[in-house]
Each structure stands twice: as C-alpha cells, then as structure tokens.
Structure 1
Amino acid sequence: MILEVADIRIHPGQQAAFDEAIQRGLDTVIAHSKGFRGYKVNKGMESPERYLLMIFWDTLENHTVDFRQSEAFAQWRAIVGPFFASPPQVEHFTLLGKSGSA
C-alpha cells in the first residue's frame, strides 16, 4: 500500500468552505478511483490555512497514472483547486512500522 501525502495551503478565511469542499471531493470523486483504499485529512491548529491530506492507494500508479491522468482528477481540482494559495506539495510513502490504531 502507498501513502500519498499532500501538504495543502489555502487562502486565509476560506477554512469553512474548504472543509466542505475537500470532504465532498474526497467522497464523490477520489473515493471511487481505482486502487483507492482510504483517506485522512488533518487541519492545522497553529496554521489554520494548512491541511495534510493522506490518501492510501494500492499502488503508486493508481495515483500517478490511473487517477492523475483521468477525468476524475479534473473534477477533483475543480472542487478544491480554487482554494489553493499555492500548489500542494505531494509525496508518496511506504509503511516502515506501525503501532496501535494510528
């Protein structure tokens, strides 16, 4: 399993609208993508315009090819893109270790 981590910064004062948009985009677009296994979204406490989006995929290609090169990516960006203050920083990770229910 691959973990995609997107560090998202949005325009100040848009948190409530973005909270709704990101949930809608995840539930209506990304959740139906090939290889999608789940997600977590964390919102910054000290930096309320910062979000960490973590999406779990079966393979790297499920994100980089199957999703990013599909119409679903355009739909996703149409929902969340207008809120971005800058392009998200995106990286991929594999699991090294785990404890508890984290």
Structure 2
Amino acid sequence: MIVEAVFLFIKSGQEESFEQSFSEAAPIISSMNGYLSHRLQRCLETKGKYLLTVEWERLKDHTIGFRQSPEYLNWKEKLHHYYEPFPEVEHFTIIHS
C-alpha cells in the first residue's frame, strides 16, 4: 500500500464551494481500481489549507490508473480551479504503524 499526500491551498473565499465540490468529486476517485480510502482534512491554523491523503494498493494505481484515466479529467474539472498554488503530490510507504 502507498499513501498519496498533498497539501491543498484553496483560493480565499472559496473554501465552502471547494468542500461541496470535493464531496461531489469523491465518488470519482473512490471508484478507481486500486483505491483503498481517502481523507480530506481542514487545517485549524491556516484558513484555506487542507490535507488530502489517499491510500492506493500500488503507486501505478494512482500515477497511471487514475491520472491517465477519463475519470481524472472529470476530477480535474471539478477541483483544480480552486487551487492556488497548484499542489505538489507526494507518495509514501508505511514503515511503522
């Protein structure tokens, strides 16, 4: 299993709209092969900052299976216009829990 982790910085004043759009977009990612789970968390200290984590079976389930799919285009259309700056995605493997 790998964990995709990304800090999302949402344009000021668009937080509620982003959260609603994310709720609508969540079924897109959760329907993908290799998807295990996800969490969207709102930062308590910094307005407009969120942490998205997604658990995937394999790295390629995210980088190829999702990112190169038609479903990703729908995800992108629903969410990418909220980000400023555009987020950097990183992947992690669990070594201890």
Question: Is the TM value for this pair above 0.5?
Answer: yes
Q: Which amino acid aligns with 2:95?
A: L
1:1-102 matches, within 5 Å, as 1-26=1-26, 28-98=27-97
Question: What do you get for the CA RMSD once the two structures are aligned?
Answer: 0.8
Distance 1:21 1:48 in 2: 18
Structure 1 moving runs of 4+ over 2 Å:
none
TM-score (normalised: structure 2): 0.95
Unaligned runs of 5+ in 1: none
TM-score (normalised: structure 1): 0.91
Aligned length: 97
Unaligned runs of 5+ in 2: none
Distance 2:88 2:23 in 1: 19
Percent of aligned pairs with the same amino acid: 29
Distance 1:45 1:89 in 2: 21
Any idea what the Cα deviations from partners look like across 1:25-55, whole Å, max 9, x if unmatched? 11x2101011000001111111121111000
Distance 1:50 1:79 in 2: 18
